[in-house]
Structure 1
Amino acid sequence: MAEKNKKSTSKKPTLKDQIKSLNNDLESEKDKYLRLFAEFENFRKRTSKERIELFKTASKELMSALLPVLDDMDRAMKEFEKDSSVDYTGFKLIYNKFYDTLVSNGLSKIEVSAGTIFDAEKHEAITQIKAPSKKMVGKIIDVVENGYLIGDKILRYPKVVVGN
């Protein structure tokens, strides 16, 4: 019978073993908690960035859709400048308001003028013509369509004629 008591007591974990086991379980649960918390923080940051990108993309698409309207208004402004009538003044107010709204939403014009050295990274050459002088070879002769940036990304390259 004494042998049975020894076997039954040896099978029962001691208090120290139980404490050690519980501490191991606690550490394991703490580790799971910290990993889950870190994963949630990463998820929160990632979704925040994705949301910002979504707004930028939506803005980019809207700006792209409005560029042909802006081009038409630019052409109309050039025609109206020849005639200083009341129509010109009214149209100029509307044009300025429209352009300022686009600028306030991140649109900026890429400044290009005749005589600027052509750079394939920044300009789109739609044609090449004989340069009026040797000095104009490899330079922009005319700007056919303005280019625009939204933030720091090119929305549309300026379309230019290059001297050859």
Structure 2
Amino acid sequence: MTAASLRPAGTGDLDAVTRVFLACWHNSYAGLLPPDVRDLYTLDTARELWRRVALDHLLVAEAAGRGVLGMVRFGTDPDDPGCGHVYSLYVDPDSQGLGLGRTLLTAAGEALVARGYAQATLWVFADNTAAMAFYARLGWQPDGATRTEAAYRLPEIRLRRRLP
């Protein structure tokens, strides 16, 4: 893994978080999401999205001289309050494959365990084979739930895992 440290995000991280999100949204999802769906998020709309979530329960990974390289947002599952949930996991495309995603996801799991959760869920686009393989390597498995959000128009699969 690249030398990175994790810390809770603060309001001063909004621009960096927006940058990482947009890089993933427009580059990592280029072959997955239709162009008009990728165009939903511009600098302004992405900043508003991350401002709305108020950077709550968001950990960032940063490296000296490179700034924020990734982030994970987590909390309570909105459909199952007895379960933790990973809302977002993004790693800058230029930093993918270095272990940051695993590190961020592990840290989120530890924080969820500290809050008393024994398991967690997350949603992933069904056609995102790279993400599905990544999560499977870390013990996340489909639990049978699916959805298609109107804005994104692509099926998603809910994954679940027991937390260590």
TM-score range, shorter chain: under 0.3
Bigger relative contact order, structure 1 or 2, given CA contacts below 8 A and separation 6+? 2
Structure number, greater radius of gyration? 1
- Is the strand fraction higher in 1 or 2? 2
Q: Scaled by the length of structure 1, what TM-score is found? A: 0.23
